[in-house]
């Protein structure tokens, strides 16, 4: 018996939803004449429609969604995390606030708070970046001793710390660890040089913190005088914001009344701390131990606020953040948090 010839309209072996599309389109084109390619060549409907159905395969999920009201599609909206510190008009840290006390705005649009936590138990990833350039070399032993005491006081089993030194270049003395002996060993290896690669240190420290989970904090001890000029302030700030790093600047002014004092560098350290939700302290106000103690207190009195963005401004890469306490008078509290985030950064869950 002669095998029956395949119909030119028979659907090829595709998934069911594509076969259905094939049948409908084939039926629609059935009355059309074959298409002529060249003299003596003809293409049947089946041969013509096969590539059409292959192309439709990519669009099939959208078509299914339009026809099947039960179909569910998920949009990947990433959680935006904001670490917030609140102080009163006297500068004292304020704890005990609740979710209902806060309001969050992205680009002036009110957002719904999805996550609210107090942060005393959240893992801490902290990098100490210590300036060992010529301008602060005389303070190196004091810096190492104070940093060692700070590390012993703040590091918990769930936390990790690393140590960088920066002068002419940036060097990792201790990679991330929760072993205090390794931190001590790194701090004992500080050595001086002449130039100051401050912004390189902030860029590198931020990038290495970026892959960590939990709070990400960079503590910079420096006079702010960047002389290496490899990276810029703008690049350092962007690296910190993209990697969700809070910067705490401990400003070590060698000679306060010196005519050569770098006020621009000090201002840069102040501004980058404020922009990233951290804080700045002058070492001259009670010494390094007191400055480290203030950093520790600040980190222990933080709130985590998270939300899933909605009504975003189209085409906006950098989204500005504002956190307020609506019930309070304008001068009752000072709310401190990062100023924004980059939409094209990979936001990691904190």
Q: List CB contacts of 271: < 8 A, sequence separation 6 or more.
A: none
Q: Which of the two residues, 249 and 57, has the higher pLDDT score?
A: 249
User: Taking the CA of residue 6 as centre, how many other CA atoms within 13 Å lie in the half-sphere pointing to its CB?
Assistant: 9
User: Taking the CA of residue 106 as centre, how many other CA atoms within 13 Å lie in the half-sphere pointing to its CB?
Assistant: 25
Q: List CB contacts of 288: < 8 A, sequence separation 6 or more.
A: 142, 143, 146, 147, 221, 250, 252
* Other CB atoms within 10 A of residue 281 CB: 20
Give the chain's radius of gyration (CA, Å): 30
Asked: is 124-300 a CATH 3.40.50.410 domain? The reply is yes
Token pair 């006297």 in the structure block, residue = 90
What does pTM read for this prediction? Answer: 0.77
Give the ranges where the chain is alpha helix by DSSP (H): 16-29, 45-67, 140-154, 180-187, 198-210, 233-242, 263-275, 287-300
The per-residue pLDDT for 66 is 47
Q: State the average pLDDT over residues 308-329.
A: 93
Q: State the average pLDDT over residues 266-290.
A: 96
The per-residue pLDDT for 319 is 96
Residues of the chain with CATH 3.40.50.410: 124-300
Q: List CB contacts of 303: < 8 A, sequence separation 6 or more.
A: 83, 84, 85, 86, 97, 102, 116, 117, 118, 119
Q: State the average pLDDT over residues 83-106.
A: 95
Q: What is the pLDDT of residues 190-228, one digit of tens each?
A: 998 889 999 999 999 999 999 999 999 999 999 998 998
The per-residue pLDDT for 258 is 55
pLDDT band at 257 (very low <50, low <70, confident <90, very high): low
* Partners of residue 85 on adjacent β-strands: 336
Q: What is the pLDDT of residues 110-169, one digit of tens each?
A: 999 999 998 767 899 999 999 999 877 777 889 999 999 999 999 999 999 999 999 999
Residue 275: C-alpha distances to residues 46, 70, 129, 238 (Å): 63, 45, 18, 10
């Amino acid at each position: 018996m002669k095998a029956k010839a395949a119909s030119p309209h028979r659907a090829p072996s595709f998934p069911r939803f594509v076969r259905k599309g094939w049948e409908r389109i084939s039926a629609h084109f059935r009355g059309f004449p074959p298409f002529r390619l060249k003299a003596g060549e003809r293409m049947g409907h089946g041969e013509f429609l096969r590539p059409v159905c292959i192309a439709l395969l990519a669009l099939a999920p959208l078509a299914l969604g339009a026809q099947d009201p039960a179909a569910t599609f998920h949009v990947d909206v990433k959680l935006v995390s904001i670490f917030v510190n609140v102080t009163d008009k006297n500068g004292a840290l304020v704890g005990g606030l609740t979710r209902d006390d806060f309001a969050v705005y992205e680009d002036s649009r009110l957002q719904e708070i999805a996550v609210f936590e107090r942060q005393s138990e959240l893992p801490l990833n902290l990098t100490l970046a210590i300036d060992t350039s010529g301008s602060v070399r005389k303070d190196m032993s004091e810096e190492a001793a104070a940093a060692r005491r700070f590390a012993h006081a703040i590091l918990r089993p769930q936390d990790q710390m690393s140590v960088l030194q920066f002068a002419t270049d940036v060097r990792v003395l201790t990679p991330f660890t929760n072993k205090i002996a390794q931190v001590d060993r790194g701090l004992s290896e500080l050595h001086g040089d002449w130039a100051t690669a401050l912004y390189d240190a902030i860029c590198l420290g931020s990038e290495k913190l970026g892959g960590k989970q939990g709070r990400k904090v960079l503590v910079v001890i420096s006079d702010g005088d960047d002389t290496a000029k490899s990276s810029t302030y703008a690049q350092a700030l962007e690296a910190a914001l993209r990697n969700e790093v809070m910067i705490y600047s401990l400003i070590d002014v060698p000679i306060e009344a010196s005519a050569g004092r770098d006020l621009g560098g000090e201002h840069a350290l102040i501004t980058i701390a404020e922009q990233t939700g951290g804080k700045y302290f002058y070492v001259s106000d009670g010494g390094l131990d007191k400055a480290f103690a203030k950093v520790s207190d600040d980190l222990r009195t933080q709130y985590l606020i998270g939300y899933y963005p909605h009504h975003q401004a189209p085409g906006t890469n950098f989204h500005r953040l504002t956190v307020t306490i609506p019930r309070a008078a304008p001068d009752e509290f000072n709310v401190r948090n990062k100023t924004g985030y980059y939409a094209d950064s990979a936001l990691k869950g904190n």
